[in-house]
Structure 1
Amino acid sequence: MCGMNERERNILDAATTLFMRYGVKRTSMNDISQEAGISRQTLYNAYRNKDEILRALIRYFADRAYCEIEAGLEEKPALGDRLDLVFDRIAVAAFDLLSESPNAADLVEGFNQISEEEIDASYAQVRGLIATILKPYASEIEANGLTTTQLADFVQRMVKASKSTATDRAHLLEMLQTLKTATLKLAGVA
Structure 2
Amino acid sequence: MNMAGIDPKQQAVLTAAWTAFSTYGFRKTSMDDIAKGAGMSRPAVYLHFKNKEAILRALVQGYYARAQAEIAAALAADADLKSKLAAAFAGHGGEAMEAMMSSPHGMELLETSVSVAGESIEEGEAALSSLYANWLTAEAEAGRVSLPAPPADMARVICACLKGIKKSAAGYAAYRTDVSSYAALCAQALEP
Normalised to the residue count of structure 2, the TM-score between the two structures is 0.85
Give 1:59 shift: 0.4
- Contact 1:131/1:149, CA 8 A, preserved across alignment: yes
Shift of 1:16: 0.3
AA matched with 1:156: C
Q: State the alpha-carbon separation in 1 of the partners of residues 79 and 91 from structure 2.
A: 17
* Partner amino acid, structure 1, of 2:188: K
Q: Does 2:26 correspond to 1:35?
A: no
State the distance in 2 between where 1:88 and 1:164 align. 15
Note the C-alpha offset of 1:94: 3.9
1:155 to 155, 158, 161: 158
Could you tell me whether the CA contact under 8 Å between 1:91 and 1:162 is conserved in 2? no
* Residue pairs, 1:75-94, within 5 angstroms: 75-91=77-93, 93-94=95-96
Match of 2:122 among 120, 123, 129: 120
Change in Cα spacing, 1:2 to 1:131, as seen in structure 2 (3 Å) is farther
What's the counterpart of residue 108 of structure 1?
A: 110
> What is the Cα-based RMSD across aligned positions, in Å?
2.5
Deviations 1:62-85 (A, max 9, x none): 112222333444434433222112
Is residue 135–residue 148 contact of structure 1 (8 Å, CA) maintained in 2? yes
Give 1:93 shift: 3.6
Alignment of 1:1-190 (within 5 A): 3-91=5-93, 93-138=95-140, 144-189=147-192
Distance 1:151 1:141, change over 3 A: farther
2: distance between equivalents of 1:47 and 1:187? 44
Size of the alignment, in residue pairs?
189
**Aligned pair in 2 of structure 1 residues 108, 101: CA closer, same or farther (>3 Å)?**
same
In the TM superposition, residue 44 of structure 1 has moved relative to its aligned partner by 0.8
- Is contact 1:92–1:172 with CA below 8 Å preserved after alignment? no
Instruction: Quote how far apart the aligned CAs of 1:146 are.
Output: 0.8
Q: Which amino acid in structure 2 is aligned with residue 80 of structure 1?
A: K
Q: Say if 1:135 and 1:149 are closer, same or farther in 2 by CA, change over 3 A.
A: same
Distance 1:170 1:16 in 2: 21
Report the CA distance shift for 1:2/1:126 in structure 2 as closer, same or farther (over 3 A). farther
Letter in 2 for 1:163: K
Shift, 1:133, TM fit: 2.5
Task: Name the % identity.
Answer: 28
Query: Does the 8 Å contact 1:127/1:152 carry over to 2?
Result: yes
Q: Is the 8 A contact 1:22 1:103 kept in 2?
A: yes
Kindly tell me: are residues 106 and 169 of structure 1, through their superposed partners in 2, closer, same or farther at Cα, counting changes over 3 Å?
closer
Long gaps (5+) in structure 1: none
Please say if residues 123 and 156 of structure 1, whose CA atoms lie closer than 8 Å, have aligned partners that are also in contact: yes
